[in-house]
Each structure stands twice: as structure tokens, then as C-alpha cells.
């Protein structure tokens, strides 16, 4: 009897100890397809780590950015893992807001991460965030409309070809626009596209001494080309179109070409959602023969805030979610086409993935063609292809985005928009102490 | 003849009211319709006739359990309303029945706090919540919702109480009623319709509040506003799922509003027409 009581007592004590030991980590993320899929697959993680429970907080991108910034700046400690992008990582790492990821495990194979992506997520050689999925931008085009226009899309088109094709493909009477591009104001909306495009025109945000460059001819060429192209071949009301609006237009067959995130390829080629799924071709983002293409580089990544009390458990989770094994897990449950793209070189060497994702090679080539440390033709003092990794950029980028969006809508001229952008950038940089 | 004209007027007025009501309700109706479409149907332009699939509801429930968010919404809206009434009834009573020199100014000042954009005090409030351990707690959020709706509750009750003749309360006092008896047996029964409509309106306001409820919660205290927000996607068109999430979030309050519309309208128009 005594023995039974003792055994029972020991058992309950160990259960209690186990329960007390089980820790829960909170992960903040966005509602993108790959993240949603990860949430459905976490049984695999909890089976391997029974002492760690996962709590998810899914938020709209802008709200997420605002919430995690507030939390990390005030050391609120609400999150143990955060989903952030290549813009935040270098800035936050320099502020010591993030923990370096040095305990990802022996079999993690850091070297397998695509170099361009790893470079964007590292500061002083240390990795501060692990990429969950990476993307660049490229041209998605309608093969049938291109053929009808009597043209053949090269693998690496020039802007002049894009303009020529867009004008020929435009058939407004039948609701077909030659090209759909972002116009909605925002540093991550139209400015992501326009900054990447400006790189291929040889433009830059700042010179080596942080002097704003909107008064230079390269920016004038970029913005004038963009406005003219959209006037001739863009959809109506383009100044309020972002990623989702253009996605809807393309899927409904209303765009001949769409230059946007590589991740869109999986949407436009999905017959369940797209009416043109079997007619889509892909090409690299256009260039102007200056040695740089107009494509960007972005990676939604998992980072650990310095204020967390559960750093070890958080690293275990980050390691699981961004490992090669996770890619295999997704492939076994939902097929290779649904594996998060753009993070690991080994994925692109996998013949099964190449077969399942016809856009795989073009995605990898696009990612490799972007260099965050040398984004444009001339040298720059900043890091970032479609953004400038300084804290002031969110505000400044959105202000300039509003000016350029107004120029697209015809509310101001290209010259006025550039002049105002130059003034706004000069004021911000003077205030920030970058220039006198 | 006069009768004919008045009938004609009545018909026009009714038709106009229907059109206006339909215009106002249409976005909600279309959200409900879209929730019964597949994702492909949802993006294929305007269509009032869905295929009737419930796949979005299944997907939404599988992605994030509705019930926990729903319970938090009920707890927060009802809790903050009760808390607000406990503070506002004595305040409105004193302002209505024994107004002082500054009563009007205090009322105006209370209302003016509603004119300040909430984001202006985000950081101080966030820091207070962090230091008092109230981040992501139902109690903390309940107090916050009570505070932001308090001016409206006080104003509504004040307007309502003002309509009650002070003589009745005086008569009660003459008959020897104590302050407690006066409030419980005389004032409250007369003010029940007003309190009820204030309560209903406040529940709706708290239910729909989407600034603080998203910013001060993470997992434990997150209500339905956070639930909807989690279905908005920067990359991907999930309109049917978003509509299903929205329909699930507004359904309880819509049903409650439907059953209590009489009290709501009465409360909102009280004092407007004598």
C-alpha cells in the first residue's frame, strides 16, 4: 500500500514537474500561404519537442510591423519569435534588439542558405534571422497574348522590349492592359518596385555622402519611363494598385505582363484560382544594359527578440521551421510545389522540385541577380535593393511613394514629384544627422 | 385628395428608406454572399449568386479556432459595459440632478477626449500596460475599453436622466426615501430603457473596437477583431476566407442588434424629438 502511494506520488510529482517545465513560445507572423501551412504542420515540431508549446499570433503585415516594433523597442516581451523582413534585420541587429542565431544545431547547414539572402540577414558575419521564404521579382507574362502580338519574350528582356510588347498587347476594348505595375503609395508597395526599377536605370537614393539623388537624370528617366509606360499600357486607376490588386487583374486575364514578386508565380499558375494558369511564362526583370536588373530581394525571416526569456526553445523552433527537413516535410504532405521557395540552394538542385515548380530556375536566377550591398550601378552607402536599410526609410519611402503615386495619377508632373521628393529626402537626412 | 398625396408621400418615403437601408447594408450582405463562394469565384468580379460552398468556413475554423476569440469578445464587451455603467450611472446622476457650475464644462471635456486620435497615446498606454503586467490580459483590456467608451456612456445616461422630472425624486425624498432607495426604487426603474439602450450601444462599440484590442493583445485576450485581422494577407487573395471570418465575427452582434433594434433606436433618438 505504502509503495503504491509512493509510486503514485512520484508519478504525479514528475507529471507536475514536466508540466511546469513545458514552456510556451509565442510566434508573430503574417497570413501568407507558406506561414499558414507551417501552422498546420507544427505537430511534427511538438512531437519532436514535447516540452515546447507553440502559440501563434497572425496579423496583417503593417499591423505586425507596428506591433513587433513597439514590442521590441519597449522590451514588451510579448513575442519569442518574430516574422520580419530583410529591411528590419540589419537595423534591429545593429540596435542589439535581436539575438544572433548561433544554436541552430549541427545538421542545420547554414552554408546551404542562398548567399544573397544570407548576406541580407547577417551583420558582421553573424546571422540574425533565418529565412523562411525568399523572393525576388520577375516578369510574368501571357504567352498567348505575346504570340498574338507577334513577339517572343527573351529570358532577359530590356525595358524597351517591355514597353514595345506592352503597347502591342494592350487591347482596352477587350479589357486587356499590356502591363500591370504597382502604383499604390508605400515604401513596401510602389517604392519597392520603383526603387528596384531605378537600379536598372542607374539611379540611387543617396550618393556615398548620403546626399539625396532625386535631382539626377537617372531618377527622371526612371519615373518618366514608368509614368509613360503606365499611361500607354497600364490599367485604369493604377495608382491604387498593389500586389493583391494586380494579382486579381492578372488572374482575371486583364494583364499582358506583370512585374512583381516571384512568389506570385504559384498563385497565377494555380488552376484553382487563376483563369490563365496554363498561359503564363516567366522572364527575368528588365534591364537597360547597365549591368543591373530591376528586381528586388526580400525574405520573410524568423528572428528572436533580445528580450525573450525562452531563447533556447525559440531557436529550436526557428531551426525546425527553416531546415531542410521542414522542406521535406512539406513536400511529403503537400507536394514539392508548396515548399517555401528562395531560401536554400539545395532545394533548387532537387530534380523533384524543378519538375514541380516550372518557375524554379527563374526564381533562383532572379534572387542571385540581386545584390543588397551593391544594389545599383554607382556605389551607395546603404544596404538594400528595393529599400535603404536605415530607420528613417519607412517614413521617407512612404512620403516619396505618395509623391510618385500622385505623378502616376496625373495629379502632379514628374518634375514636380522629383523636386518634392528631393526636398523631403534632404529634410529627413538633415534631421537625421546624415548630412549637414 | 389630401389622403392620396399623403399615401404617395408615404410610399416614396418608404421606398427611399429601403434604398438607403439597402445601400448601407449592402457591403455586409456582399461579405456574407462572398463567404459562400470559392476563392476563384470570389475574385471573378461582381456576382450575387454564390455556389454555396462552405469550404471557407471550414478553412477559417481549421486555421484559427473561432470560439476562443468569440468568448474573449463577449467577456470584453459585456465586462467593459458593466464596468462603464457602474462608473457612469452615479456620475450622470449627479450631473443631471445636482448640476454645479462646471458640469457643462466637465461634460464637454469628457467628450473632447474622444476627439484625440488613439494612436497619439499608444506608447504611454503600452508602457503602462507593460509595467503593470496588463499586456494581453482580459482585465487590462476591459478597463481600456471601459475608459474609451465612458464619455459616450456618461453623455447618453446624462441625457436620459435629464428627462426624468426632478420632482419625482423630491417627492420620494419627502416620503423619507434614502439616497440608496431613491436610486434603486425610483430612478432606476424609470431609467431602465435608457440604461438598456446605452448598454446595447456600448456592447456594440466595444465589440467592434479594433485599435486597442489588436495592439494590446497577443494570444490570451485576443478578441474577434484580432481574428479578422489575421485573415488579411499582403500576398495572396483570400477574399472568401476573409469574408467568412468577417461574417463569423459580426454575426453575434448583428443578431443581437436585430433583436434589440427597438431599444437601440429609442435610446439613440431620445431627446431629439420632444
The Cα of B263 is separated from the nearest Cα of chain A by a number of Å equal to 36
Cα separation, A387 vs A87, in Å, equals: 7
Domain at B116, CATH number: 1.10.3720.10
Indicate whether A52 and A116 sit together in one domain: yes
pLDDT score recorded for residue A18: 44
Interface test with B, best of A35, A241, A244, A255 (most B CBs within 10 A): A244
Q: Look at residue B42 and tell me whether its pLDDT is greater than 80.
A: yes
Question: Is residue B45 a part of any domain in this protein?
Answer: no
Is there a contact between B233 and A31 if contact means CB atoms under 8 Å apart? yes
Is there a contact between A273 and B233 if contact means CB atoms under 8 Å apart? no
pLDDT score recorded for residue B3: 57
pLDDT score recorded for residue B6: 79
Question: Is residue B114 a part of any domain in this protein?
Answer: yes
Cα separation, A97 vs A66, in Å, equals: 15
Cα separation, B34 vs B24, in Å, equals: 17
Indicate whether A230 and A269 sit together in one domain: yes
What are the pLDDT digits (tens) for A178-208?
999 999 999 989 999 999 999 999 999 999 9
Closest-CA residue in chain B for A268? B236
What are the pLDDT digits (tens) for A391-406?
999 899 999 999 999 9
pLDDT score recorded for residue A14: 47
Is there a contact between B44 and A58 if contact means CB atoms under 8 Å apart? no
Q: How confident is the model at residue B223 (pLDDT cuts 50, 70, 90)?
A: very high
Measured between beta carbons, which residues in chain B are less than 8 angstroms from residue A36?
A: 63
Is there a contact between A59 and B122 if contact means CB atoms under 8 Å apart? no
Question: Is residue A363 a part of any domain in this protein?
Answer: no
Q: Report CA-CA distances (Å) from A137 to A185, A265, B212.
A: 18, 10, 36
Residues 6+ apart with CB under 8 A from B54: B36
Cα separation, A372 vs A365, in Å, equals: 15
List the grid coordinates of B100.
454645479
How many Cα atoms within 13 Å fall on the side-chain side of residue B162?
Answer: 15
Q: How confident is the model at residue A1 (pLDDT cuts 50, 70, 90)?
A: very low
Q: Give the other-Cβ count within 10 Å of A46's Cβ.
A: 13
Inter-residue contact A86 to A384 (CB < 8 Å): yes
What are the pLDDT digits (tens) for B193-221?
888 889 999 999 999 999 999 999 988 99
Cα separation, A163 vs A233, in Å, equals: 8
Q: Report CA-CA distances (Å) from A416 to A76, A175, A229, A406.
A: 43, 31, 19, 10
Cα separation, B183 vs B91, in Å, equals: 13
Closest-CA residue in chain A for B130? A76
User: Which residue, B35, B89, B5, B24, is CA-closest to B248?
Assistant: B35
Question: Is residue A369 a part of any domain in this protein?
Answer: no
Range of the structural domain that residue B122 is part of? 65-229
pLDDT score recorded for residue A19: 45
Is there a contact between B39 and A272 if contact means CB atoms under 8 Å apart? yes
What are the pLDDT digits (tens) for A123-180?
998 999 999 999 899 999 999 999 999 999 999 999 999 999 999 999 999 999 999 9
Average pLDDT over residues B229-248: 86
Cα separation, B101 vs B103, in Å, equals: 6
Q: Look at residue A21 and tell me whether its pLDDT is greater than 90.
A: no
Indicate whether A141 and A44 sit together in one domain: no
Question: Is residue B116 a part of any domain in this protein?
Answer: yes
Indicate whether A85 and A208 sit together in one domain: no
Q: Which residue has the cell 536566377?
A: A365
Inter-residue contact A176 to A253 (CB < 8 Å): yes
What are the pLDDT digits (tens) for A245-280?
999 999 989 999 999 998 888 888 888 878 898 999
Q: Look at residue B73 and tell me whether its pLDDT is greater than 60.
A: yes
Lowest mean pLDDT among A165-169, A402-406, B31-35, B96-100: B96-100
pLDDT score recorded for residue A9: 53
Q: Which carries the bigger pLDDT value, residue B3 or residue A168? A: A168
Measured between beta carbons, which residues in chain B are less than 8 angstroms from residue A60?
A: 229-230, 232-234
Query: For the purposes of burial, counting CB atoms within 10 Å of the CB of B238, is it exposed (0-12), middle (13-18) or buried (19 or more)?
Result: buried
Question: Is residue B103 a part of any domain in this protein?
Answer: yes
Question: Is residue A60 a part of any domain in this protein?
Answer: yes
What are the pLDDT digits (tens) for A65-123?
888 888 888 888 899 999 999 999 999 999 999 999 998 988 899 999 999 899 889 99
Measured between beta carbons, which residues in chain B are less than 8 angstroms from residue A79?
A: 218
Indicate whether A23 and A85 sit together in one domain: yes
The share of chain A scoring above pLDDT 90, in percent, equals 70
Q: Look at residue A314 and tell me whether its pLDDT is greater than 60.
A: yes
Cα separation, B146 vs B80, in Å, equals: 5
Average pLDDT over chain B reads 88
Indicate whether A278 and A392 sit together in one domain: yes
Cα separation, A177 vs A168, in Å, equals: 10
Q: How confident is the model at residue A2 (pLDDT cuts 50, 70, 90)?
A: low
Q: Coil, strand, or helix at residue A171? A: strand
Size of interface A-B (CB pairs under 8 A): 100
Inter-residue contact B137 to B220 (CB < 8 Å): yes
Cα separation, A39 vs B55, in Å, equals: 18
Question: Is residue B138 a part of any domain in this protein?
Answer: yes
The Cα of A224 is separated from the nearest Cα of chain B by a number of Å equal to 28
Question: Is residue A340 a part of any domain in this protein?
Answer: yes
Measured between beta carbons, which residues in chain B are less than 8 angstroms from residue A193?
A: none
Q: Report CA-CA distances (Å) from A19 to A11, A50, A53, B219.
A: 12, 10, 11, 20
Question: Is residue A198 a part of any domain in this protein?
Answer: yes
Query: pTM of the entire structure?
Result: 0.82
Cα separation, A106 vs A112, in Å, equals: 13
Strands A122-123 and A81-84: unpaired
Question: Is residue B129 a part of any domain in this protein?
Answer: yes
Number of domains comprising chain B? 1
The Cα of B149 is separated from the nearest Cα of chain A by a number of Å equal to 23
The share of chain B scoring above pLDDT 70, in percent, equals 95
Cα separation, B267 vs B274, in Å, equals: 13
Q: Which residue has the cell 499608444?
A: B122
What are the pLDDT digits (tens) for A343-373?
999 999 999 998 888 888 888 888 888 888 8
Residues 6+ apart with CB under 8 A from A406: A239, A412, A417
Inter-residue contact B242 to A58 (CB < 8 Å): no
User: Which residue, A159, A187, A194, A196, is CA-closest to A297?
Assistant: A196
Query: Per DSSP, what are the bridge partners of residue A59?
Result: A30
pLDDT score recorded for residue A315: 95
Question: Is residue A259 a part of any domain in this protein?
Answer: yes
List the grid coordinates of A175.
479589357
Is there a contact between B123 and A74 if contact means CB atoms under 8 Å apart? yes
Question: Is residue A167 a part of any domain in this protein?
Answer: yes
Indicate whether A86 and A223 sit together in one domain: no
The H-or-E segment that residue A230 falls in is helix A217-233
Question: Is residue B9 a part of any domain in this protein?
Answer: no
Q: Look at residue A6 and tell me whether its pLDDT is greater than 60.
A: no
Q: How confident is the model at residue B115 (pLDDT cuts 50, 70, 90)?
A: confident
User: Which residue, B253, B258, B240, is CA-closest to B206?
Assistant: B253
Measured between beta carbons, which residues in chain B are less than 8 angstroms from residue A28?
A: 218
List the grid coordinates of A337.
510545389
Q: Coil, strand, or helix at residue A178? A: strand
Indicate whether A287 and A351 sit together in one domain: no
Lowest mean pLDDT among A42-51, A158-167, A228-237, B39-48: B39-48
Indicate whether A239 and A388 sit together in one domain: yes
Is there a contact between B229 and A252 if contact means CB atoms under 8 Å apart? no
Number of domains comprising chain A? 2
List the grid coordinates of B168.
419625482
Measured between beta carbons, which residues in chain A are less than 8 angstroms from residue B230?
A: 31, 57-60
Largest CA distance in chain A: 92
- Helix/strand/coil (H/E/C) assignment for every residue in A297-310: EEEEEEECECCCCC
List the grid coordinates of A424.
523631403
Measured between beta carbons, which residues in chain A are less than 8 angstroms from residue B135?
A: 76, 78
If you ran DSSP here, which 8-state letter would residue A382 be given?
A: S
What are the pLDDT digits (tens) for A324-337?
999 999 999 988 98
The Cα of B204 is separated from the nearest Cα of chain A by a number of Å equal to 23
Is there a contact between A261 and B235 if contact means CB atoms under 8 Å apart? yes
Average pLDDT over residues B32-46: 86
The Cα of A304 is separated from the nearest Cα of chain B by a number of Å equal to 16
The H-or-E segment that residue A162 falls in is helix A159-169
pLDDT score recorded for residue B274: 39
Indicate whether A128 and A159 sit together in one domain: no
Cα separation, A327 vs A34, in Å, equals: 11
Question: Is residue B89 a part of any domain in this protein?
Answer: yes
Question: Is residue A436 a part of any domain in this protein?
Answer: no
pLDDT score recorded for residue B128: 94
Q: Look at residue A15 and tell me whether its pLDDT is greater than 80.
A: no
pLDDT score recorded for residue B273: 41
The Cα of A41 is separated from the nearest Cα of chain B by a number of Å equal to 11
Is there a contact between B123 and A57 if contact means CB atoms under 8 Å apart? no
Is there a contact between A33 and B235 if contact means CB atoms under 8 Å apart? yes
Strands A81-84 and A23-30: parallel
Q: How confident is the model at residue B271 (pLDDT cuts 50, 70, 90)?
A: low
Domain at A36, CATH number: 3.40.190.10
Is there a contact between B136 and A275 if contact means CB atoms under 8 Å apart? no
pLDDT score recorded for residue B237: 76
Is there a contact between B236 and A244 if contact means CB atoms under 8 Å apart? yes
Is there a contact between A252 and B233 if contact means CB atoms under 8 Å apart? no
Q: How many helices (H) and strands (E) are present in chain B, helices listed first?
A: 14, 0
Complex-level ipTM beyond the 0.85 threshold:
no
Closest-CA residue in chain A for B44? A252
Q: Look at residue A10 and tell me whether its pLDDT is greater than 60.
A: no
pLDDT score recorded for residue A183: 95
Indicate whether A41 and A181 sit together in one domain: no
Measured between beta carbons, which residues in chain A are less than 8 angstroms from residue B233?
A: 30-33, 60, 244
Range of the structural domain that residue A59 is part of? 2-135+297-356
Q: Look at residue A4 and tell me whether its pLDDT is greater than 70.
A: no
Indicate whether A410 and A382 sit together in one domain: yes
Amino acid at each position: 500500500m505504502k509503495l503504491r502511494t509512493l509510486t503514485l506520488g512520484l508519478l504525479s510529482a514528475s507529471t507536475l514537474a514536466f508540466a511546469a517545465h513545458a514552456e510556451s513560445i509565442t510566434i508573430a507572423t503574417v497570413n501568407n500561404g507558406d506561414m499558414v501551412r507551417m501552422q498546420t504542420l507544427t505537430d511534427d515540431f511538438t512531437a519532436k519537442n514535447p516540452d515546447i508549446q507553440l502559440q501563434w499570433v497572425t496579423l496583417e503585415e503593417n499591423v505586425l510591423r507596428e506591433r513587433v516594433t513597439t514590442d521590441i523597442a519597449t522590451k514588451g516581451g510579448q513575442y519569442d519569435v518574430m516574422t520580419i523582413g530583410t529591411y528590419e534585420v540589419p537595423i534591429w541587429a545593429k540596435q542589439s534588439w535581436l539575438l544572433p542565431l548561433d544554436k541552430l544545431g549541427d545538421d542545420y547547414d547554414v552554408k546551404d542558405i542562398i548567399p544573397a539572402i544570407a548576406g541580407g540577414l547577417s551583420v558582421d558575419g553573424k546571422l540574425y534571422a533565418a529565412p523562411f521564404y525568399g523572393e525576388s521579382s520577375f516578369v510574368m507574362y501571357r504567352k498567348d497574348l505575346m504570340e498574338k502580338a507577334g513577339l517572343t519574350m527573351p529570358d532577359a528582356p530590356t525595358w524597351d522590349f517591355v514597353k514595345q510588347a506592352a503597347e502591342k498587347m494592350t487591347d482596352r476594348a477587350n479589357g486587356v492592359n499590356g502591363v500591370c505595375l504597382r502604383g499604390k503609395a508605400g515604401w513596401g508597395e510602389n517604392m519597392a518596385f520603383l526603387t528596384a526599377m531605378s537600379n536598372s536605370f542607374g539611379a540611387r537614393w543617396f550618393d556615398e555622402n548620403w546626399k539625396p539623388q532625386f535631382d539626377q537624370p537617372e531618377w527622371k528617366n526612371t519615373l518618366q519611363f514608368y509614368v509613360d509606360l503606365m499611361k500607354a499600357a497600364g490599367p485604369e486607376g493604377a495608382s491604387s494598385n498593389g500586389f493583391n490588386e494586380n494579382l486579381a487583374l492578372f488572374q482575371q486575364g486583364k494583364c499582358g505582363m506583370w512585374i512583381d514578386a516571384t512568389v506570385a508565380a504559384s498563385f497565377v499558375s494555380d488552376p484553382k484560382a487563376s483563369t490563365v494558369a496554363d498561359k503564363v511564362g516567366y522572364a527575368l526583370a528588365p534591364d537597360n544594359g547597365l549591368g543591373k536588373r530591376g528586381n528586388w530581394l526580400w525574405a520573410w525571416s524568423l528572428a528572436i527578440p533580445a528580450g525573450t526569456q525562452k531563447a533556447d526553445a525559440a531557436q529550436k523552433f526557428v531551426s525546425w521551421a527553416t531546415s531542410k527537413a521542414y522542406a521535406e516535410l512539406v513536400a511529403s504532405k503537400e507536394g514539392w510545389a508548396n515548399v517555401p521557395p528562395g531560401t536554400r540552394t539545395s532545394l533548387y538542385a532537387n530534380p523533384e522540385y524543378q519538375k514541380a515548380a516550372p518557375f524554379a530556375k527563374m526564381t533562383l536566377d532572379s534572387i542571385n541577380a540581386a545584390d543588397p550591398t551593391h544594389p545599383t550601378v554607382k556605389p551607395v552607402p546603404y544596404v538594400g535593393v528595393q529599400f535603404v536599410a536605415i530607420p528613417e526609410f519607412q517614413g521617407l519611402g512612404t512620403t516619396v511613394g505618395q509623391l510618385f503615386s500622385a505623378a502616376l495619377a496625373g495629379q502632379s508632373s514628374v518634375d514636380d514629384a522629383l523636386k518634392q521628393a528631393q526636398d523631403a529626402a534632404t529634410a529627413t537626412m538633415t534631421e537625421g544627422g546624415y548630412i549637414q | 385628395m389630401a389622403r392620396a398625396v399623403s399615401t404617395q408621400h408615404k410610399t416614396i418615403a418608404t421606398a427611399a428608406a429601403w434604398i438607403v437601408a439597402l445601400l448601407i447594408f449592402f457591403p455586409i450582405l456582399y461579405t456574407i454572399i462572398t463567404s459562400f463562394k470559392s476563392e476563384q469565384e470570389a475574385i471573378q468580379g461582381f456576382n450575387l449568386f454564390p455556389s454555396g460552398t462552405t469550404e471557407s468556413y471550414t478553412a477559417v475554423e481549421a486555421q484559427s479556432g473561432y470560439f476562443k476569440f468569440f468568448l474573449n469578445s463577449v467577456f470584453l464587451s459585456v465586462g467593459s459595459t458593466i464596468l462603464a455603467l457602474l462608473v457612469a450611472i452615479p456620475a450622470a446622476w449627479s450631473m443631471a440632478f445636482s448640476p454645479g457650475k462646471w458640469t457643462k464644462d466637465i461634460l464637454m471635456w469628457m467628450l473632447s477626449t474622444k476627439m484625440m486620435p488613439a494612436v497619439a497615446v499608444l506608447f504611454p498606454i503600452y508602457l503602462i500596460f507593460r509595467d503593470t503586467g496588463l499586456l494581453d490580459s482580459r482585465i487590462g483590456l476591459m478597463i481600456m475599453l471601459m475608459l474609451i467608451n465612458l464619455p459616450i456612456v456618461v453623455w447618453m445616461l446624462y441625457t436620459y436622466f435629464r428627462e426624468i422630472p426632478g420632482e419625482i425624486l423630491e417627492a420620494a425624498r419627502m416620503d423619507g426615501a434614502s439616497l440608496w432607495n431613491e436610486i434603486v426604487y425610483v430612478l432606476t426603474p424609470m431609467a431602465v430603457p435608457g440604461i438598456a439602450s446605452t448598454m446595447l450601444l456600448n456592447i456594440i462599440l466595444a465589440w467592434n473596437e479594433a485599435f486597442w484590442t489588436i495592439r494590446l493583445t497577443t494570444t490570451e485576450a485576443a478578441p474577434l477583431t484580432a481574428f479578422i485581422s489575421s485573415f488579411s494577407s499582403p500576398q495572396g487573395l483570400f477574399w472568401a476566407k476573409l469574408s467568412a471570418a468577417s461574417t463569423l465575427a459580426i454575426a453575434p452582434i448583428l443578431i443581437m442588434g436585430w433583436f434589440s433594434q427597438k431599444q437601440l433606436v429609442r435610446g439613440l433618438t431620445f431627446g431629439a424629438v420632444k
